[in-house]
Amino acid sequence: MNDHDEAFMREAIKEAKKAFEVEEVPVGSVLVLGGKIIARAHNQVEMLKDATAHAEMLALTMGASALNNWRLLDTTLYVTIEPCMMCAGAMYLSRIMRLVWGARDPRQGANGSFVDLFEKSHPIHNIEVTPDVLSIECGALMQEFFRKRREKNGR
């Protein structure tokens, strides 16, 4: 973890709170290049009716647009929860340099909680991973969201 990881994770948490407010699963992400945020996103699965509209996927797409290049070399992606398999694959394909994530996801996490797509050396590109940054804050937001959802559904 470097000096900026907590600050950028707090920006990702701001995005997750936006998702929370509109009843999306509260996941937020920011993409950073050269110490500056070039893309920010939160889950929009329900709004867009699109299972691929995860915060990470949206941030990667926005980053590619900002750089006018699908290769997101030298970027760091901050995300409030351990990425799923789909998002991990997109990270490899977009060639981010580094991934920093917050809370573990035992149901979908692709960095060891469910499966570990980052454990093997990739033949073309490797991603430096820093897990568990502000994990308590990130996890608390998810727990609160699902607690409220259960209450709303009478469970």
Please give the structure tokens belonging to residue 134: 């502000």
Q: Which residue in 11, 23, 46, 56 is the catalytic one? A: 56
Q: Cβ contacts of residue 104 below 8 Å, gap of 6+?
A: 81, 82, 113, 131, 132, 135, 139
**In 10 A of CB 50, how many CB atoms?**
12
Cα 7 vs. chain centroid, distance in angstroms?
Answer: 15
Helix axis angle, 5-21 to 55-67, nearest 10°: 120
Angle at 23 between CA 75 and CA 99, to 5 degrees: 15
C-alpha atoms less than 13 angstroms from C-alpha of 142 in its C-beta half-sphere: 19
Instruction: Indicate if 56 belongs to the active site.
Output: yes
Q: Provide the terminal-to-terminal Cα distance of the chain, rounded to the nearest Å.
A: 39
The residues carrying an active-site annotation are: 56
